[in-house]
Structures are given as C-alpha cells and as structure tokens.
Amino acid sequence: MIDILIAIFSTIGALAIFFASLGILRMPDFYLRLSVTVKAATLGVGLLLLCAAILFPDISVTTKAIAITFFLIITSPIAAHMIGRAAYFTGTPLWKGTIIDELAGMYNKETHELESNPQNKEEITAENDQIADTEEETK
C-alpha cells in the first residue's frame, strides 16, 4: 500500500519538475516561463518531500519535510511576484499572442506608485504598449 502511494506521488512529482524544465525551453515569453516554472517546481519538490516523509517512519524526517514544504510554499510565490513585477516595470515585452494588457499605463513612472482606477491611466496606443509585435522580441 505504502509502496504504491510512494510510487504514484514520486512519479507525479518528477513529471511536474520535468514539465517545468521543458516549459523554460518551450514557452514564448518571459512571464509564461516564470509562470510555468515556479508553480510546477513547488508542486514537484513538495510531492517528493511528501514521499520521503511517508517512506521514513521517523518523526524528525517528517517534521523536516513539513518545514521545508511550508517555507517553499510561503516564499516561492513572493519570489515569482517580485521577479514578475521587476520584469514588467523594466519593460520586458509580452508575447505577441497576448490578448489584453490592463496593467499598461497604470504605473506612475516617477513615484513607482500603481494606480487602481482605470480612469487615471496614461494613454496607450499600439506603438507604446508592451505586447511584442514579433516572435523574435520575446525570445
């Protein structure tokens, strides 16, 4: 029973990490790469640690696995958020298939403050938005 459980969880975990690494190669722009990598890697490492906790009937292994998973879950979304924000702020282009960008023009460039009311935003035209026009821009 425990063997089957460990086999299932570790296979799913390894596959999640594999798809995350494949996603870095396949995804067309920076935000999608970030989006694919962070979550799948968290899930994969979490599942592998869960397998370790099930396999060793030792309380110290279980507590360590729980602590590592807990800190991974609270820190990796923050890292993704900070990297994504910095990338958007410095003007990294979005993929050309992006259908809508409601964040465009909402930043105040001097104070770095973000506006929530769509009435106050700067004028955005097809020339100065962050959505890339060609595939090569986001490679």
Partner 1 sequence: MIRLFLMNLLLSFIWVALTGSMYYTNFVFGFMLGFGILWIMNSHDSDQRYFFRVPKVLSFILYFFVQLIKANLQVAYDVMTPKYFMKPGVVRYPMNANTELEINLLATMISLTPGTLILDISEDKKTMYIHVMYLNDPKVFVREMKTGLERRLLEILR
Among 5, 115, 122, 135, binds partner 1 (CB under 8 A): 115
Establish if 33 lies at the interface with partner 1 (CB under 8 A): no
Establish if 51 lies at the interface with partner 1 (CB under 8 A): no
Nearest to residue 42, comparing CAs of 5, 87, 77, 83? 77
Q: Which amino acid is at 71?
A: F
- What gap in Å lies between CA 123 and CA 137, rounded to an integer? 23
Judge contact between 8 and 48, C-beta under 8 A: no
Contacts with partner 1, residue ranges (CB under 8 A): 15-16, 19, 22-23, 26-29, 31-32, 34-36, 38-40, 42-43, 53, 57, 59, 62, 73-74, 76-77, 80-81, 84-85, 88, 94-95, 97-104, 106, 113-116, 118
